[in-house]
Amino acid sequence: MMTKLVDEVYNATGYRFKSIDLLKTALTHRSSVGNNNERLEFLGDSVLGMVIANYLYLKYPECDEGTLTRCRALTVKRDSLAEVARRINLGGFILLGDAAIRSGGAERESILGDVLEAIIGAVFLEGGLDSATRVVKKLFSEDLESLSPFNSLKDAKTDLQEALQKFGYPLPIYNVVEQKGPAHQREFVVSCYLQEPELTCYGNGASRRKAEQVAAQSALREIKITDDNTS
Query: 228, 177, 170: which is closest to 199 by C-alpha?
Result: 170
Ramachandran area for residue 14 (φ above 0: left; ψ -120 to 50: alpha; else beta): left
Please identify which of the residues 45, 83, 109, 114 carries the catalytic annotation. 45
Please identify which of the residues 83, 114, 117, 212 carries the catalytic annotation. 117
**Residue 195 and residue 102: Cα distance in Å, rounded?**
31
φ/ψ of 171, rounded to 5, equals -70, 155
Question: Coil, strand or helix: which one is 33?
Answer: coil
Active site residue 159: no
113 by Cβ neighbours in 10 Å (0-12 / 13-18 / 19+) ranks as: buried
CB atoms within 10 A of CB 92: 11
Active site residue 45: yes
**Residue 76 and residue 66: Cα distance in Å, rounded?**
16
**Residue 207 and residue 183: Cα distance in Å, rounded?**
11
**Which residues does the annotation mark as catalytic?**
45, 117
